[in-house]
Each structure stands twice: as C-alpha cells, then as structure tokens.
C-alpha cells in the first residue's frame, strides 16, 4: 500500500466515515499498516511545529528558538504524538474488550490512523497559516474563519473516532463513546499527575537548596 493509497483512504474516511469503515471492516490489516499512517501524521505535526517556531518565534519569547532548536522540538513533538496515538489506542482497545467488544487491535489501530492523517493535516495547516499570518491584519480576520473550522474539525474527528470504534469492535455507539472518554480521561489524569510530580520535585529541590 503506497502513500497515495493511504491518503485516498483517509480522504474517503473524511467524507464518508460510516460507509468507509463498514467496507474496511471486511478486510484485515496489520499493526504495520496503522503504524505507517500514524508516522505520516506525526511527520505532518513535526513539520508544522518546525515552521511555526521559525516564522512565529515571538510566541515562545523574542525569537528564542533558531533552526537547530526548532528542529529538535519538532522531532520530540513527533515522537510524543506517536506515543500518544499508540497509548490511547491501546487503552481504548482494552476498555472496548471489557465492554464486550470483539474486534482486533490492528484493525481498530488502522481505522484510527486514517482519521489521524486528515486531522493532523488540518491542525498542521492551521499552525502554518497562523505562523505566517499572525502578525498581519489579514491574519486577524483569517483567524476568525480558521478557528471555527479548527474546532469543527476536532469535534468531527471525535465523531469519526466513535464510528471507528463501534465498527471495528462491533459495539454500540454508547459503549464506543464511553470507551473513548474513559481512555482519554486516564491519559489526561496521568499527564496531570506527571506534571504535578515534576513540579513537586522541583519545589523540593529548591527548598533543599535554600535550606
């Protein structure tokens, strides 16, 4: 399966998620198929973040980041996005199995990866346009159009994810929705606890150095 085929599949999912997933559910996919799609999504994000940091460095503080740092941050962001995709997919699959789902992880992973391609392209395009136009008056008016489109895309992506989970595991929309929410909540909670732990460790170190 080439890149063009993958992009075409993502386009079909964007325009007709229910019929496309129903058709794809009759096929089998390997973990590698989904992983390649998620890699494409991560590259989209990395490129957008790199462009953003080069053209709109004031967001990070008076051009603090040059080409090398922008590249490093972009690579790290790509890795983080890829890990997030994998962890969220794994948690969601486990919860769906608890709810009586009978689908395979590889098929669900592939379905979600197709969604990730187009949503990453949309978010990346938004970041790039924002970076280039943020300092112009035209950019201000353009943002009034882009922001609603961005938020609409995010909500549409959530809807498509529910359809993908329901179709890949043969469960109800309610079970698919709960699985998605529970998995997302676990990840958010884990991130918050990690940040709290880092902050607590920093305060402890500071207090020790001052005493």
* Domain extents in the chain: 3-210
- DSSP of 59-112: GGSTT---HHHHHHHHHHHHHHHHHHHHHHHHHHHHHHHHTT----HHHHHHHH
pLDDT of residue 209: 65
| ∠ CA 97-102-106, rounded to 5° | 85
pLDDT of residue 180: 92
Q: Is the separation of the CB atoms in 112 and 176 below 8 Å? A: no
pLDDT of residue 136: 60
pLDDT of residue 178: 93
Estimate to the nearest angstrom the gap between the alpha carbon of 206 and the chain centroid: 35
Q: Is the separation of the CB atoms in 183 and 134 below 8 Å? A: no
- DSSP of 25-47: TTS---HHHHHHHHHHHHHHHHH
Q: Is the separation of the CB atoms in 111 and 21 below 8 Å? A: yes
Maximum C-alpha span of the chain: 66
Tokens of 74: 């972009």
- CA-to-CA dists, residue 96 to 75, 104, 106, angstroms: 32, 10, 14
- CA-to-CA dists, residue 67 to 42, 49, 50, 51, 159, angstroms: 19, 12, 8, 10, 37
Q: Is the separation of the CB atoms in 74 and 49 below 8 Å? A: yes
pLDDT of residue 171: 92
pLDDT of residue 166: 93
Tokens of 194: 């990690």
pLDDT of residue 81: 82
Estimate to the nearest angstrom the gap between the alpha carbon of 86 and the chain centroid: 10
Q: What is the mean pLDDT of each run of 10 residues along the chain (211 residues)?
A: 79 89 88 89 86 65 61 82 87 92 90 90 82 64 73 89 93 92 88 80 68 61
Q: Is the separation of the CB atoms in 25 and 107 below 8 Å? A: yes
pTM equals: 0.83
pLDDT of residue 139: 60
């Amino acid at each position: 399966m080439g890149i063009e085929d993958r992009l075409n599949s993502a386009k079909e999912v964007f325009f007709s998620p229910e019929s496309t997933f129903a058709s794809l559910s009759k096929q089998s996919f390997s973990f590698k198929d989904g992983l390649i799609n998620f890699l494409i999504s991560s590259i989209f994000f990395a490129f957008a973040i790199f462009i953003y940091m080069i053209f709109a460095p004031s967001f990070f503080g008076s051009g603090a980041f040059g080409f090398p740092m922008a590249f490093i941050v972009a690579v790290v962001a790509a890795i983080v996005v890829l890990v997030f995709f994998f962890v969220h997919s794994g948690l969601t699959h486990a919860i769906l199995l608890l709810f009586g789902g009978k689908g395979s992880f590889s098929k669900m992973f592939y379905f979600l990866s197709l969604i990730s391609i187009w949503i990453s392209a949309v978010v990346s395009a938004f970041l790039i346009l924002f970076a280039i136009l943020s300092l112009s008056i035209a950019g201000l008016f353009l943002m009034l159009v882009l922001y609603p489109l961005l938020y609409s895309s995010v909500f549409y992506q959530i809807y498509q994810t529910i359809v993908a989970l329901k179709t890949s595991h043969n469960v109800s929309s309610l079970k698919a929705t709960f699985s998605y929410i529970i998995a997302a909540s676990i990840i958010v909670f884990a991130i918050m606890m990690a940040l709290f732990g880092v902050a607590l460790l920093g305060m402890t170190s500071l207090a020790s150095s001052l005493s």
